[in-house]
Structure 1
Amino acid sequence: MPDVITSDGSIRQDDWVVVPRPADGESLDIPEQPALIPADLWLAGKEHFEDRDDIGVWLDSHDEPETLAGVVNELPVIAVNFPKFSDGRGYSIARLLRERLNYQNELRAVGDVLLDQLQFMKRCGFDTYVLRADKDINKAARCLNFFTQGYQAATDTDEPLFRRRAS
Structure 2
Amino acid sequence: MPDLITLDGSIRNDNWVVVSRPAEGESLAVPDDQAALIPADLWLAGHEHYAGRDDIGVWFDSHEEPEALADKVNELPVIAVNFPKFSDGRGYSIARLLRERFGYRNELRAIGDVLLDQLQFMKRCGFDTYVLRADKDINKAAKCLNFFSQGYQAATDTDEPLFRRRAS
Q: TM-score, normalization: structure 1? A: 0.99
Paired residue secondary structure (2:119)? helix
Alpha-carbon distance in structure 2 between the residues aligned to 1:143 and 1:156: 16
2:5 counterpart of 1:15: no
> Compared with structure 1, are the counterparts of its residues 137 and 53 closer, same or farther at alpha carbon in structure 2 (3 Å cutoff)?
same
Describe the superposition over 1:55-111 as per-residue Cα deviations: whole angstroms up to 9, x where unpaired.
Answer: 000000000011101101000000000000000000000000000000000000000
Q: Which runs of 4+ in 1 moved over 6 A?
A: none
Q: CA deviation at 1:48?
A: 1.1
Amino acid at match of 1:21: R
Matched with 1:27 is: 27
Identity %: 85
Structure 2: segments with no counterpart, 5+ residues: none
Q: CA RMSD in A?
A: 0.6
Describe the superposition over 1:94-147 as per-residue Cα deviations: whole angstroms up to 9, x where unpaired.
Answer: 000000000000000000000000000000000100000000000000000000
Matched with 2:57 is: 56
Figure out how many residues of one structure are paired with residues of the other and give that number: 167
Q: TM-score, normalization: structure 2? A: 0.98
Matched with 1:127 is: 128
Alpha-carbon distance in structure 1 between the residues aligned to 2:52 and 2:70: 21
Amino acid at match of 2:26: E
Paired residue secondary structure (1:20)? coil
Q: CA deviation at 1:50?
A: 2.5
Amino acid at match of 1:24: E
For residues 98-113 of structure 1, the aligned pairs below 5 Å read 98-113=99-114
Q: CA deviation at 1:10?
A: 0.4
Describe the superposition over 1:26-51 as per-residue Cα deviations: whole angstroms up to 9, x where unpaired.
Answer: 00000120000000000000111125
Alpha-carbon distance in structure 2 between the residues aligned to 1:75 and 1:30: 16
Q: CA deviation at 1:52?
A: 2.4
Paired residues of 2:51 and 2:75 also in contact (CA < 8 A):
no
Matched with 1:65 is: 66
Matched with 1:148 is: 149
Q: CA deviation at 1:6?
A: 0.4
Alpha-carbon distance in structure 2 between the residues aligned to 1:97 and 1:66: 9
